[in-house]
Structure 1
């Protein structure tokens, strides 16, 4: 499975625009209940004037709101951006920490955001389970789970180590552009023959059972 993803997208990239770890933290925090495209549109101008915690604090909450007002929940998100910037200055010397335990201390930063930052900013293999990965993990029976944490735990245990670093991007992009929520495009899916989903449209679906990794074809 992941060998096929690696051939399809040898170097998958996240779609949130950023220039350093700080702007990545902000962008991912802003992306909750918003599209990457919408966040990018708002943050291009913001990051041009405030690409460090110090500059963000100098800008102030009201002006941050003006930059991101096209994003859902922008008032609360602007408050969090200022609060996390303040914590970075006061507690971490203006630098974004590298550990999950420290990252989730930041206002507006949860486990998913921390995992994205650890992977994209610091090259640490993680599994950031967003709505796409949660859906795919359950839909194709790769890593069934009732919560994102359950899906994350299963994926981290079953994905072969050589593929782990890029795996979350492969799954996110697969969910965003092929295995879509409302109308999956099974006819062009590179893993259609391995899929165990009852929603599969390109052939008769296999029985809905959780298979061991070797039978799913993770390699």
Structure 2
């Protein structure tokens, strides 16, 4: 049973990849706490603090509204399994929107940025491009803008800059081998992982 941040890290290390809340084929942190429907409230700060402290990875890899935790041991494999993570290549292949590319290039040039300072075009939804960039391991949360009501928010920065060791290890793994390892480690089919994590098909 998970009731402390340390137990949360231990759980993530054990399963490798899990959801924060129920609703996916993955095990979830919330289902393994004693708080039932109140689990999200009790674990709210864990997801950000443990990630920013680099004790695990946390991000919306499974899609908008479906954040996951990843152990630092499994993170290089997950990065390698995603394949190409060059934003300009991804844009040319129609796997990254123009808005997402603009945000990524802004963060590359300026360094970590608060969400409200990112150059969104008028009348553009802010969530989809941030999720897309997370799914390709291009950006990640690197800090908080505040912890109180009205100030709580995130600083977004380069994922490779925040987790350099994971990217160095990922560079030594082949995409196909990484995907096979991930399927074995999580007991999920490679087809399900490909669909859920939006992997590009290998020729």
Q: Which has the higher helix share?
A: 1
| Bigger CA radius of gyration | 1
Q: TM bucket by the smaller chain?
A: under 0.3
Q: Which has the higher strand share?
A: 2
Give the alignment's TM-score, normalised by structure 2.
0.27
- Under a length normalisation based on structure 1, what TM-score does the superposition of the two structures give? 0.25
